[in-house]
Structure 1
Amino acid sequence: MSRQIEDLLPEKPEARLRIYAYSIDDGAHDGMLKIGQTTQSAPARVEQQLKTALIKQYEIHLDEPAERNDGSAFSDHDVRARLRDKGFGKVDLEWMDCAVADVKTAIAELRTGVPLSGTHHETFKMRPEQTEAVKKSHAYFHSIWKEDMHAVPRFLWNAKMRFGKTFAAYQLAKKLGATKVLVVTFKPAVEDAWRNDLESHADFDGWQYLSRSTSHDPTTADKKRPLVYFGSFQDLLGKDKSGNIKPKNEWLHAINWDLVVFDEYHFGAWRENAKELFEGEDDTEAKKELKAEFNPGLGEFNEELDELGEDEIEFLPITTKAYLYLSGTPFKALATGEFIEEQIFNWTYTDEQRAKQNWSHRYPDVANPYAALPEMRLLTYQMPDELLAIASQGEFDEFDLGEFFSATASGDAAVFEHKSDVQKWLDIIRGSYSVTQVDNLKLGAKKP
C-alpha cells in the first residue's frame, strides 16, 4: 500500500474507543452518571477509577463503541457537550445529571448526525420478515382503496411471540402516512412495549404517545405531530349504565383515525364471557354486539341484524381508514375464514428457525439477528387410525388443551384434575395403545 493510500485509508486500531457510563451508591451522586471513554474494557477502567476511592458499590449502565456511522470516532467530551446542549447539567468533572436513555440519545445523535428529541436513541432496522409484513399490508390496503377510496380494509398479522409486532406496526403506520393511530388491546399489560418502541426509536422522533397512564388530556395533543393513543378495550369502548359513550371517551369518537390496531386480538375476540367487556350493557345489547364477531364498523354482521337500525348495531362508533389485527394465535379467525389469504401475513416458529439457519448463506457479512434465539426442534407423533377417524367425524373434534392438563393446588401438592386421562394420552404417544380407548373418546363432553 502506498503512503498516499495509507493516509487516505488509515487502518483502524485493534483497540477501539468505547464510551461508558456508570453510577455509584454514595448518596452524593444520586441520579447522576459518570461518562468516560476507554480503549480497555469498561469494567477494567471503572475498577481503576474507583479503587483509589475505595468505592465498591457501582453499576455500569452503558458500554458502547464510540464510532460514527462513517467510521470516525467521537469522544466522551463530545457526549457530555451534546448533553449540555440538550439542557442536562454538568455536576463535577465527568459527572452529568441525566438518565441512561439521555446518554444513549446523545450517542445516537453523534453517530447519525441527526438531532433527536426525548430519548429516541434506538436506530436498529426492521428484520426481513417485518419488512415483508409492512410491505404486504401496505400493498393490500392500497389495492382496496384503489377500487373504493371509502373502503375500510383490514389485515391480520399471525405472528409468533418476539416478532416485534409493535415496532413493525408503527413502521406500517409511518409508511401509510398515518398521523392518528389508535391502539386497542384486550391485554392492557402490553402497554410498556407500545410506549417504549415509540419513545425510544429514532424513526418515530416527534411522535406523541398518549394513554390513560400518561395523564395528559388527549384533546390538547399537538395536531401538527403524529399521535398514537393506547387504550384497553374495556376502558375505551365500554358504555355507562345508560348505554351511552363514557363522557371521558367522547373525543375518541370525534376523530377520524388513520389506522386502528387491535393488539392481542385472540384474548378478547371469542371468549364465551366476552360480554363482560361491554360495561353497563344489558344481555340483549351484548348479544347483538357479540354477533358482530368483533369486526367493528365493517358491516359484516349476521343477516338477522340487517333489519336493525345503524344505531342499534354500532358498538364501536369509531371511524378509521384501516384496521390492523395482531395475534400470535388467531386460530378461530383462520379456521372460520374471517380473513382471506391476501389479508394475512404469517410468521411462525418454523419460519424463524429457517431464517436463522439460512441467514449466513444469504447475508454472510451481516450479523445474524436470530443468533441469540435457541434452537427449536418440533416433534410430532402418529395417532392411531381409529382415533383419527373419530376426530374427523366432527362430533368429538373439540379439544381444550388447558382443560385437559388443568391442575389443582401448586408446587409439590399439584395434581392433574384428569389424571387418568392424561395417563392414557401418555400411553398412546408411548405406543401402549388399546382399541378400548376409542370408546372413552366417544364420551364426548363427559371427557375433558
Structure 2
Amino acid sequence: MTDPTSSVQTKQGVRKIYAYTTPAEESVDWLNGKGNGRVKIGHTTRSVAERIREQFGASSTDRTWYPRGEWDAQAEDGTWITDHMVHRYLSKRYRRVPDTEWFEVDPEAVWEAVEVLKNDPKARPKGKDCYELRGEQRAAIDAAMTYYEADPSNRWFLWNAKMRFGKTFTAFKLAERLRSKRILVLTYFPAVDDGWSEEIEDHVDFEEWQYAENGASYEDGDQVQVSFSSFQMLEHKTLGKNRENANTKADALRREIAAVNWDLVIIDEYHHGAHHPARREFVSSLKTQRILALSGTPFRAIAKGDFATENKFDWTYLDERQALADWAKKETCEANPYEELPAIHFVGYRLPPHAALTGVDGDCDLTYSPTTIFKADKDGFKNPEAVKDWLQSLSTLSGSARRAGGVPPPYHPDFTGDVLSHVLWLLPSKHSCDAMKRLLEDGWFPGGEGEVIQVSGSEGETGKPAQITKKVRDKIAAAKRSITLSVGKLTTGVTVPEWTAVFHLKAGSSLESYLQASYRCQSSGSINLRNGDREVKTNCFVFDYDPDRMLVVMGDYIKSLKGSGAPLDDRSNAAFPTVIFDDEKNGHIPLNVSDIENELNNYLLKRRPAELMSDSMRLLEDAISAGGLNKALCAQLVKAGKSKSPHHAMRDLDPSLFKSKTPGTIIGDNGKQSAKSTEVADENPKNDEIRAIKEAMLVFIKSLGHLAYIGDLREASVEDLFKVDDELFEKIMGNDKDQVREIIDGAGLDRVQLNAMIQKILMWENFEFVVSGCRNRDELGECGKWYPSDEEATYAFSLQPNR
C-alpha cells in the first residue's frame, strides 16, 4: 500500500487535502479506547505549510505542528473533492470533536477516505448542506432588520451584492429571522428559479420548508411556504403559445398572488425591471410590509435615489478582496471562505490597425467599434480579412509588444498560460455568431483546436436558460478547450464554473449589463492544463475590445462605489481589478482607481467630448429637426462660438431663421411656435450649417460645465450658475445671463438633464478641463477656448495579473 503520509508535490493553485496534528493532540486517547492521537483535516489551494501556520494566530505561544498527509484533491472525473466531503465521510465511521475539524482517526484512514471519494462519486456524501452565514451575510441581515424594525412603514430594502455573495441562502436566513411563513420570490429573470428551489432542497436549515412555482396552495399552516414567480409569467410570456389561454392564466396568477398576505416579498435580479412602471406598481400593491430587492448591479436605482444609505447594504468586489486579505490575519482554524473565488482582471485591447481602420466597404473608418468589425449577415462577416487578422492577433505578439517587452495578447502562453481553457465570447449579432463559428472550425481557433459551442445564432442551443446551461456544461466537460459564442444568452442569473474569461466583442452595454456579463467568469472552478492535469481557478479575465467603453464603464463603477460611501484608498487600489494602459511611448502602466479617473477625464474632454453631452445633444437634434432654433438664439450661439470654436462652418455661418418642418407653422424669434399661417416654411438649413449649430451648442454646453468648475460650484445646478459674478459669467459664456437663459429656453434644453450633465462634469475630484490651461480666476485670459485634440494617442489596454 502506498504510504498515506507521502505528500503530493503539486503546483500553486491545485487544491490539496491535508492532515496534521500538534504536540497537545498527538497522544490524546480516543473515547472508544481503540487508539490515540487526533488529526485536523482541511483543504487549500496554497502552500499547506503556510495555511497551517496561519491557523495558530499571532498570539499562540506554541506553533509546533506535525504533518500527517497531503493529497491531491482532483477526482477521477475531473471534479474536486473538499474537506467537507472528507469530514462527512469520516464522521460516519470515526469520532469528530464537536464543532471542530479534529478527528480521532489514523492518517491512513484519512488517505483511504480521500481515495474513495476521488474514485467513486457514489461514495460522496449526499446529505443536506450545513454551512453557516459568513460575516458579511450576517451584516446584510442585521442592516435589513434594523431598517424594518425602525418604522413599520419601512418596506423596501436593497442588497447591492455582487455575484457569489450567497443571496439565496442569506435571503432565506433573513426570512427565518423575520419569522416569515409566507414568502414570495419574484424575479425579472426566470432563469434563477433553480437556485431558489435547490437552496431549500439542499440546506438542512430549510428542510421543513415548502417550495412551489406558480399556483401554489397558500393554506394556513406552520410550515414555511415559498412561492416563485417571474414577471414573464405574470405577463403571459411563458404560459403557453395560445395568447388567449396565456392571458387567462396570467390574470389568474396575478389575482392569486395579489390576494395573499405575504410576510416577505423578495425581488431577485432587481436591475432587470426596476424602472418598469407597471411592474413596480404591481410590487408596491402587494399585501406585504417587507420587500427585499436583490441585485449585483442596481446602479440606476441608486442613482435615481430609490435607495439611500439607510435602506441598502453593499457588498462589492473590493469588499470581497478585502475580506480575503483580512481573513488571513484572523486567529482562526477555519478555512478561508473567500480563498477559492478567483481574482478578476479587466483587460482592454484596441483592434489591430487593419481591423480598426477598414470599414465594411473598404473605406477608411476612423470610428472605432467592435460592432463594425464583427458585422455580419447570413453570408458571413462583412470584413472577413479584418476578423482573421484579429483572430491571429489573439495568440501572436505584435512588434511593439516584442520591442517594449509588453504584455502579450490573451491566448499567448506567456500571458495567461492555460487559463483560457473555456471562455465566453459576446458578439454583436446572431449572424456574427454563425460566421465566427465557421471561421473557428475552419482552422482559426486561437492557439490550436477546441470545441465551438453556439448558444446564439442558427445553430444555437435552445430551451430554458437552465437547460441551455446544462447543454453547454456537458459539451465543455467533453472538451479540453472551448469557446462559447453568444449575443446575450447566459450573461445573467446562471453559473458556468468552467469559464475563465469573457470577451466583449460588441459595442455598447450599460454598466449593469456589462458587469453582469463580466462576472460570469468569476466563480470557483478548475482549469484544464495542456499536460492533462487540472488546477483550481485562481484568476479570471475580462477582455474588452472597446477600451474606451471599458474606461467609461470602470469610471461609472468607481462613481457608484463613491456614491455608496465605499472608501477608495490604497487598499482599494490594491484590490481593484488590475488594468494596465499601453501605448507605444509609455509601455504598460498599471492604472489604479485614481489613474482610471484621470484617464477618463482625458477621454471625456479630449477624445470624444460629444459623448459627455450625449443627452443634451439629442435634445438639440430634436430642436433642430423641429425647427426650434430661432434667429436670435443662433446669433447668440455664433457670438460665443465664433471665438471659441475652430470649426470652419462655425466661422463662416450666416445665422438664418430655423423654421418648423410642418408647412404653415413658423418658429418665431421668441422661440415659440406661432399659429398656423399660409406662409410655407423655408427649406431646412444646409448640413454644414446644422453641424455648425451643433458645434456651437456643444461649445455652449461645455462652457456651462466650465463655468461651474471655474466658479468653484462643486454641487452646481443650472440655476446656480447664474449666481456667478457677471464679469466671470460673460467672460466664460460669451453672452450675458439673460441671453444664456434665452438660449437654454429657446433650444428647449431640459434643465433636469442639464443639471445631471453638470454633475457628471463635476463628479471627479481631480477634474481638469483642457481649456488652454485655464484652471482658475487668475488665468482668465484665454478662458473658454475649446480646441479638439490634434494628436490623439492610440489607446490599448492590457493586463499583468497579480501573481
TM-score band, normalised by the shorter chain?
0.5 to 0.7
Change (3 A) 1:406 1:101: same
C-alpha separation in 2, matches of 1:177 and 1:139: 15
Match of residue 228 from structure 2: 230
1:132 aligns with 2:154: no
Match of residue 143 from structure 1: 150
For the Cα contact (< 8 Å) 2:28–2:37, is it kept in 1?
no
C-alpha separation in 2, matches of 1:261 and 1:232: 11
Match of residue 216 from structure 2: 218
- Letter in structure 2 aligned against 1:188: P
Instruction: Give the secondary-structure state (helix, strand or coil) at the position aligned to 1:209.
Output: strand
Report Cα offsets for 1:19-55 as digits up to 9, x if no partner. xxxxxxxxxxxxxxxxxxxx999999x99xxxxxxxx
Aligned counterparts, 1:79-118, within 5 A: 104-105=126-127
Q: In the TM superposition, what is the alpha-carbon distance from 1:66 to its structure 2 partner?
A: 1.6
Match of residue 373 from structure 1: 341
C-alpha separation in 2, matches of 1:246 and 1:293: 14
Change (3 A) 1:255 1:188: same
After TM superposition, the score normalised by the length of structure 1 is: 0.55
Q: In the TM superposition, what is the alpha-carbon distance from 1:321 to its structure 2 partner?
A: 1.9
For the Cα contact (< 8 Å) 2:184–2:227, is it kept in 1?
yes
Match of residue 173 from structure 2: 171
Aligned counterparts, 1:282-431, within 5 A: 290=277, 294=280, 296=282, 298=284, 317-376=285-344, 407-408=428-429, 409-410=432-433, 411=436, 412=439, 422=546, 430=582
After TM superposition, the score normalised by the length of structure 2 is: 0.32
Of the candidates 34, 37, 42, which is equivalent to residue 12 of structure 1? 37
For the Cα contact (< 8 Å) 1:152–1:323, is it kept in 2?
no
C-alpha separation in 1, matches of 2:370 and 2:331: 41
Instruction: Give the secondary-structure state (helix, strand or coil) at the position aligned to 2:126.
Output: helix
Match of residue 66 from structure 1: 90
Gaps of at least 5 residues in structure 2 are: 1-22, 42-67, 106-120, 238-242, 349-368, 373-425, 441-484, 486-503, 509-544, 553-580, 585-601, 619-803
C-alpha separation in 2, matches of 1:138 and 1:426: 37
- Letter in structure 1 aligned against 2:173: Q
Q: In the TM superposition, what is the alpha-carbon distance from 1:203 to its structure 2 partner?
A: 1.1
Larger deviation: 219-228 or 339-348?
Answer: 219-228
C-alpha separation in 1, matches of 2:232 and 2:161: 24
Instruction: Give the secondary-structure state (helix, strand or coil) at the position aligned to 2:158.
Output: strand
For the Cα contact (< 8 Å) 2:185–2:265, is it kept in 1?
yes
Change (3 A) 1:234 1:363: farther
C-alpha separation in 2, matches of 1:256 and 1:427: 46
Change (3 A) 1:256 1:293: closer
For the Cα contact (< 8 Å) 1:159–1:347, is it kept in 2?
yes
C-alpha separation in 1, matches of 2:36 and 2:249: 70
For the Cα contact (< 8 Å) 2:161–2:295, is it kept in 1?
yes
1:194 aligns with 2:217: no
- Letter in structure 2 aligned against 1:366: E
Match of residue 130 from structure 2: 123
For the Cα contact (< 8 Å) 2:266–2:291, is it kept in 1?
yes
C-alpha separation in 2, matches of 1:425 and 1:248: 42
C-alpha separation in 1, matches of 2:40 and 2:506: 61
Q: In the TM superposition, what is the alpha-carbon distance from 1:65 to its structure 2 partner?
A: 3.8
Higher relative contact order (CA 8 A, sep 6+): 1
C-alpha separation in 2, matches of 1:162 and 1:423: 26
Alignment size in residue pairs: 306
Identity, in percent, stands at: 30
Q: In the TM superposition, what is the alpha-carbon distance from 1:204 to its structure 2 partner?
A: 1.1
Instruction: Give the secondary-structure state (helix, strand or coil) at the position aligned to 1:123.
Output: coil
- Letter in structure 2 aligned against 1:227: Q
C-alpha separation in 1, matches of 2:324 and 2:131: 18
Change (3 A) 1:426 1:369: closer
For the Cα contact (< 8 Å) 1:253–1:318, is it kept in 2?
yes
Change (3 A) 1:322 1:424: closer
C-alpha separation in 1, matches of 2:608 and 2:211: 56
C-alpha separation in 2, matches of 1:252 and 1:423: 46
For the Cα contact (< 8 Å) 2:159–2:314, is it kept in 1?
yes
Change (3 A) 1:334 1:65: same
- Letter in structure 2 aligned against 1:407: P
For the Cα contact (< 8 Å) 1:157–1:325, is it kept in 2?
yes
Q: In the TM superposition, what is the alpha-carbon distance from 1:69 to its structure 2 partner?
A: 5.5
Report Cα offsets for 1:393-446 as digits up to 9, x if no partner. xxxxxxxx9989963513259997779x95877999646989874466478479
C-alpha separation in 1, matches of 2:200 and 2:163: 19
For the Cα contact (< 8 Å) 2:157–2:292, is it kept in 1?
yes
For the Cα contact (< 8 Å) 2:371–2:505, is it kept in 1?
no
C-alpha separation in 1, matches of 2:90 and 2:131: 17
Report Cα offsets for 1:304-331 as digits up to 9, x if no partner. xxxxxxxxxxxxx420120000001101
Instruction: Give the secondary-structure state (helix, strand or coil) at the position aligned to 1:132.
Output: helix
For the Cα contact (< 8 Å) 1:353–1:376, is it kept in 2?
no
Instruction: Give the secondary-structure state (helix, strand or coil) at the position aligned to 2:223.
Output: coil
Report Cα offsets for 1:87-123 as digits up to 9, x if no partner. xxxxxxxxxxxx9699532xxxxxxxxxxxxxxx111
Instruction: Give the secondary-structure state (helix, strand or coil) at the position aligned to 1:269.
Output: coil
Q: In the TM superposition, what is the alpha-carbon distance from 1:247 to its structure 2 partner?
A: 2.3
For the Cα contact (< 8 Å) 2:262–2:288, is it kept in 1?
yes
Match of residue 111 from structure 2: none
For the Cα contact (< 8 Å) 1:219–1:251, is it kept in 2?
no
CA RMSD of aligned residues (A): 4.9
Change (3 A) 1:293 1:367: same
- Letter in structure 1 aligned against 2:144: S
- Letter in structure 2 aligned against 1:200: D
C-alpha separation in 2, matches of 1:185 and 1:251: 17
For the Cα contact (< 8 Å) 1:187–1:264, is it kept in 2?
yes
For the Cα contact (< 8 Å) 1:66–1:73, is it kept in 2?
no
Q: In the TM superposition, what is the alpha-carbon distance from 1:139 to its structure 2 partner?
A: 1.2
Match of residue 207 from structure 1: 209
Q: In the TM superposition, what is the alpha-carbon distance from 1:189 to its structure 2 partner?
A: 0.7
Match of residue 261 from structure 2: 256
C-alpha separation in 1, matches of 2:135 and 2:551: 43
Match of residue 272 from structure 2: 267
Q: In the TM superposition, what is the alpha-carbon distance from 1:364 to its structure 2 partner?
A: 3.6
